[in-house]
Structure 1
Amino acid sequence: MKRIVYGFAALTTAAWLFGLWVDPPAMNGRGLSHEVFYWNGILAWGYMAMAIVIAARPAWLERATKTPLDELYRWHRTIGFWALGLSVFHWLTKTIMAPVFSLMTLEPVPKIVRGELTGFDLFWSQMRGFAVDSSIWATVIALVLGALVFVKALRYTKWLQLHKLFSALFIVLSIHAIRLADPADFTLPLGIINLAVTAVGLWYSVLLLVRGAGREKEVPARVTDVEVHESITLLTVKPEKPLHVRAGEFAFLATQNEEKHPFSVAEILPDGSLRFAVKALGDYTTNDVPRIAPGDEVRLEGPWGAFTLERFETDAATRRKELWVAGGIGIAPFCAWLQDAAERKAKVADDEAFAKSHPIAKLLWCVRDCADEPMLPKIEALARRAGIEFHIVESKKSRLKPEALFTAGVPDRLALCAGAGLSNAVAEAFVAAGGSKTAIRREHFDWR
């Protein structure tokens, strides 16, 4: 995704410079301001369209970007803020660049006398005023919506519904993008980029508003079992049609009248059912999920993600050492990893053959209190069956010291599924001890 994001900026800038070379602007304040407006406007427009495509979650998204969805949503947040920042720059270009413009003369605007306009000419003329005025209040609304990202007290469902307004704003701003461009610009590369961005953004904006996100990978499902513990709810869901889910992937779940929420798949059952471990961390997971009952209909979307065991397997020639670190409910994908490894081991004729095809792994689980973890017995049993060394750290007794993990040696690979604080601390300690950044795999928690 990084190549796409920075590649778009480079391509847009190159197209803009090519346009300046082919059709040089008048060297005065008005001509220069138009070109700066055009350049930063297309950049902002492109990043807004990218953010909308990610939010729409088309089935091809991970494959085309070669980036797992959890990481794509981090890019969604980043490029969304870039789009807002560039929009403000676009809006205030004349003010920001006033010192430069003051050194130039303003080309006088010729007074054009037209006859009475009718039909399409009248409509097109009137659209200019709307294109200008609507862009101002659309930018203000977008800034307000962007600020709501930091209001954690806002219920996730309400926040997500408000967030969809970006799609409506894109539709409105498309008039600004097309109407205020010079017709001659559409014959140049930058104008073609503008048209392409507008078409793609409009398509996925409409899909988001009409169909919702991820519809291509959505299937009806039914809840078959629910286990409610103090802070963990274990949900078993049976999709109407089989889904090819790999250990470590995640899916979105939606109950009636609720938006879809992402949860890691903790277990893949023989009949195709999926078991999710849901931690009470927010309003929905605390109040609504424990009330789900067997027989309830849900919508299931997935699978997504690339935090899979296959990414960490090695060949027989080089058996690697790995450290897997989970924080709290971050144990869910590792539970699926252990289940998959245990099943594979059971199918291998001897331990030596299994050892050649699997890494030497150690799983570390950081929890507050073992007594509050209903999955602990299952994790311990799966680790024994899979031949994976398992350790648990209770923060109520002693907190984990990340640097101490690597005093006896640095593993070849590191897998992390925890909150940002713990994941960052362990990753930094791993790199400081001599580990490679490219040997780190992460499942990201915080998308909002």
Structure 2
Amino acid sequence: MKHPRLLLGLLPLGLWAAFALPELLAADGGPWSWRRHLILLSGIVALWWMSAGMLLATRAPWLENIGGGLDRLYRLHKQVGIGAGLLVLLHWQLEWLPKTLAKAGLIAGPNRPRGAHQPDFWIDLAKDVGEWAGYLLMALVVVALLRRIPYRAFRLVHKAFGAIFLAGAFHGLLLMPAEFWQTPLAWTTLAVAALGVVPALLSLSGRIGRRRQHAASLTGLRAQPGGILELDCRPASWPGHRAGQFLFVDFGVAGEGAHPFTIASDWQAGDGTLTLAIKALGKFTASLPERLQVGQALRLEGPYGHFDFSPKTPVDRAPAPQIWVAGGIGITPFLARLQALAGRGERADVDLFYSSTGDGSFPETLAALCARTGVRLHRRLSERDGPFADDEIAARQRPGCSVWFCGPRGWGEALARRFRRAGLAAADFHQEAFEFR
């Protein structure tokens, strides 16, 4: 899916330009006529973006395949949500600001005949509902972006977007001018809004992702250096997963819901367990050692993601070389991949660069797995040795190679720029976008 936001903006704009702009230009109604049409246009585009945001929140497998994994879909979902908030802000300002300036006598008001307002219950209701939904949407976008707000509060706030979308769709469709319904502009907008209604209802009823949920039990707990907790989970049923994928785990803590974690193990159906390595990065994850005990019930949802080390070459040829770069707890997808290779007795043409804090004892099996699979391990303790230089990593680039990165976002973006300067295609740099708020 290339340039989805551009497409999401140009499609409604193109329909408006084709079916509404010619009438506006022919009428030559002055600035207040333009204001009216810009209010309508901004509202239509905002509705398209809100509907797209709801659709992207469904975790649908077909959307994952189009978008390159759920992590990338959620990043797009966040960007579309911010864009929808800005569009609603523009829509409100186009309505409120000129009218306020005209009332204050600072600009000339519209030349309209005076007359009594003819009340219409549904029109007045749509205006009121849309106004308050717009205020709430703008406020919720700000709240969702404030990282200091705890995850559980963010989750509850985020759930309200479904109700706000339904209110916005009611407002926008009911106030659509009658002349628009004579063109594809209104009917296409109705179809787009309908695409968002089902996800909104699924979200409000808590049904998103339910078909991919699996009951599980906690079979092992191991505290590791550096505030890392390893969990062994045995799901009652599990479809299997590819190395590098992630899942959501609901620990049964009221108000917390499910949290995403990368799976740190390969799937062996005979063994029937999977391993998670959880870094204490916040209040909730830091409290897990005290909250959890062996034997308790969990709910897993997944697997998700396309960070799966897919080879560039057909299966009948030798796999192309790869460069893996991990920072801190970002080693987990690589652990799963190493286990998968070792389990099949395969060797890989890979350089693994791993930077971490602490004493370097986690993960304890890393060196042995690399030796078994032929992976060349370059390990650095950042507090003692300093970070890897981007040039040092890029020096390992060879024709046909791909790069797989999981770690701090800033480091990944800087490394991607360095590889692009070295001639690596953008599609060959894979960075897990593991941010869900």
Provide the TM-score with structure 2 as the length reference.
Answer: 0.88
- For residue 61 of structure 1, what is the aligned residue in structure 2? 63
Contact 1:250–1:305 (8 Å) recurs in 2: yes
AA partner of residue 219 (structure 1): H
Q: Percent identity?
A: 27
Contact 1:410–1:434 (8 Å) recurs in 2: no
Deviation, 1:171, is 1.8
Inter-partner Cα distance in structure 1 for 2:357 and 2:246: 24
Q: Residue 310 of structure 1: SS of its match in structure 2?
A: coil
AA partner of residue 6 (structure 1): L
1:150 partnered with 2:145:
yes
Task: Output one character per residue of 1:58-107: Cα deviation in whole Å (capped at 9) or x when no partner.
Answer: 343213x3321111111111111111111111111256779xx9999945
* Higher deviation after alignment, 436-445 or 54-63: 54-63
Contact 2:214–2:238 (8 Å) recurs in 1: no
Inter-partner Cα distance in structure 2 for 1:4 and 1:428: 22
Inter-partner Cα distance in structure 2 for 1:265 and 1:428: 28
1:237 partnered with 2:238:
no
Q: Report 1:300-315 matches (<5 A).
A: 300-311=300-311, 315=315
Q: Residue 56 of structure 1: SS of its match in structure 2?
A: coil
Paired residue total: 423
Task: Output one character per residue of 1:9-67: Cα deviation in whole Å (capped at 9) or x when no partner.
Answer: 2221121122126755732144322321222111111111211222232343213x332
1:248 partnered with 2:244:
yes
Structure 1 residues 139 and 21, CA gap change in structure 2 (3 angstroms): closer
Q: Report 1:137-176 matches (<5 A).
A: 137-176=132-171
- For residue 349 of structure 1, what is the aligned residue in structure 2? none
Deviation, 1:209, is 0.9
1:108 to 108, 112, 119: 112
Deviation, 1:331, is 0.6
Q: Residue 219 of structure 1: SS of its match in structure 2?
A: strand
Q: Residue 397 of structure 1: SS of its match in structure 2?
A: helix
Task: Output one character per residue of 1:253-284: Cα deviation in whole Å (capped at 9) or x when no partner.
Answer: 01112311111111124433221111111122
Inter-partner Cα distance in structure 1 for 2:412 and 2:223: 28
Deviation, 1:201, is 1.8
- For residue 215 of structure 2, what is the aligned residue in structure 1? 220
Inter-partner Cα distance in structure 1 for 2:288 and 2:318: 47
Give 5+ residue unaligned stretches, structure 2.
none
Contact 2:244–2:307 (8 Å) recurs in 1: yes
1:403 partnered with 2:391:
yes
Q: Residue 300 of structure 1: SS of its match in structure 2?
A: strand
Give 5+ residue unaligned stretches, structure 1.
115-121, 347-353
Structure 1 residues 108 and 374, CA gap change in structure 2 (3 angstroms): same
- For residue 80 of structure 2, what is the aligned residue in structure 1? 79
Deviation, 1:136, is 2.3
Q: Report 1:38-437 matches (<5 A).
A: 38-63=40-65, 65-94=66-95, 106=110, 108=112, 111=115, 125-230=120-225, 231-256=227-252, 257=254, 258-267=256-265, 268-269=267-268, 270-288=270-288, 291-311=291-311, 315=315, 317=317, 319-344=319-344, 346=345, 358=348, 360-371=349-360, 373-375=361-363, 377-399=364-386, 400-407=388-395, 409-410=397-398, 412-437=401-426
Task: Output one character per residue of 1:175-200: Cα deviation in whole Å (capped at 9) or x when no partner.
Answer: 21122112332332110122122222
Q: Residue 92 of structure 1: SS of its match in structure 2?
A: helix
Inter-partner Cα distance in structure 2 for 1:288 and 1:157: 15
- For residue 118 of structure 1, what is the aligned residue in structure 2? none
Inter-partner Cα distance in structure 2 for 1:313 and 1:379: 26
Structure 1 residues 181 and 395, CA gap change in structure 2 (3 angstroms): same
* Higher deviation after alignment, 267-276 or 45-54: 267-276
Inter-partner Cα distance in structure 2 for 1:75 and 1:144: 20
Structure 1 residues 203 and 432, CA gap change in structure 2 (3 angstroms): same
Structure 1 residues 97 and 321, CA gap change in structure 2 (3 angstroms): farther
* Higher deviation after alignment, 65-74 or 21-30: 21-30
Inter-partner Cα distance in structure 1 for 2:135 and 2:81: 14
AA partner of residue 382 (structure 1): L
Inter-partner Cα distance in structure 2 for 1:426 and 1:2: 22
Structure 1 residues 94 and 150, CA gap change in structure 2 (3 angstroms): closer
Inter-partner Cα distance in structure 2 for 1:74 and 1:300: 22
Q: Residue 310 of structure 2: SS of its match in structure 1?
A: helix
- For residue 34 of structure 1, what is the aligned residue in structure 2? 36
Inter-partner Cα distance in structure 1 for 2:151 and 2:95: 38
Q: Residue 370 of structure 1: SS of its match in structure 2?
A: coil
Q: Residue 257 of structure 2: SS of its match in structure 1?
A: coil
Contact 2:351–2:396 (8 Å) recurs in 1: no
Q: Residue 287 of structure 2: SS of its match in structure 1?
A: helix
